[in-house]
Homo-oligomer: A and B are copies of this chain.
Amino acid sequence: MAKVIDFKYDKPTWCPGCGDYTVLAAMQQACVGLGLEPEQVCCVSGIGCAGKIAQHFGGYGFHSLHGRSIPTATGIKLANQELVVIAAGGDGDGYGIGLGHSLHAMRRNIDITYIVMDNHIYGLTTGKLSPNSQKGFKTKTSPKGSAEDPIRPVEMAIVTGSSFVAQAFSGNVKQMVSIFEQGIKHKGFSLINVFSPCVTFNKVNTYDWFKEHIVNMDEDESFDPTNRMDALRRVHEVESVCTGVIYREERPAFHETMLGASETAGVHLDLDLAEEEMQSLIDQFRR
- B159 and A259: CB pair below 8 A? no
Partner of A147 from the list B97, B108, B159 (CB cut-off 8 Å) is B108
| Docked pose: A216 CA to B286 CA in angstroms | 54
Among the 9-residue stretches A119-127, A176-184, A228-236, A271-279, the one with 4 or more Cβ atoms under 8 Å from chain B is A228-236
- A107 and B148: CB pair below 8 A? yes
Chain B residues in 8 Å Cβ range of A131: 104, 107
For A, the interface residue count at a CB cutoff of 8 angstroms equals 35
- A147 and B258: CB pair below 8 A? yes
The closest CB in chain B to the CB of A109 belongs to B149
Chain B residues in 8 Å Cβ range of A109: 149
A156 at the interface (CB under 8 A from B): yes
0/1 interface trace, chain A 87-109, chain B, CB 8 Å (1 if under): 00000000011111001100111
Chain B residues in 8 Å Cβ range of A226: none
Main secondary structure of the interface of A (DSSP, over half): helix
A160 at the interface (CB under 8 A from B): yes
A264 at the interface (CB under 8 A from B): no
Minimum CB–CB distance for A234 against chain B, Å: 11
Partner of A99 from the list B104, B142, B143, B233 (CB cut-off 8 Å) is B104
Chain B residues in 8 Å Cβ range of A147: 108, 254, 257-259
| Docked pose: A81 CA to B155 CA in angstroms | 31
Chain B residues in 8 Å Cβ range of A159: 152, 155-156, 159, 232
A4 at the interface (CB under 8 A from B): no
- A107 and B160: CB pair below 8 A? no
Segment 157-172 of A: residues with Cβ below 8 Å from B: 159-161
Partner of A259 from the list B99, B142, B151 (CB cut-off 8 Å) is B142
A17 at the interface (CB under 8 A from B): no
| Docked pose: A160 CA to B161 CA in angstroms | 15
Chain B residues in 8 Å Cβ range of A236: 228-229
A interface list, Cβ under 8 A from B: 96-100, 103-104, 107-109, 131, 142-144, 147-152, 155-156, 159-161, 228-229, 232-233, 236, 251, 254, 257-259
Report, nearest first, the 4 A-B pairs whose CB atoms are least far apart.
A100-B100, A99-B100, A147-B257, A107-B149
Can you list 18 A-B pairs with a CB-CB distance of less than 8 A? Answer: A99-B99, A99-B103, A99-B104, A103-B156, A107-B150, A108-B147, A108-B149, A142-B259, A144-B259, A147-B254, A148-B254, A151-B160, A152-B159, A152-B160, A152-B161, A156-B156, A159-B232, A232-B232
Q: A144-B259, A147-B259 are in contact. List 19 more A-B contacts (CB 8 A).
A: A98-B100, A99-B99, A99-B104, A103-B103, A107-B131, A107-B148, A107-B149, A107-B150, A108-B148, A108-B149, A142-B259, A143-B259, A147-B257, A147-B258, A156-B160, A159-B159, A229-B232, A229-B236, A232-B232
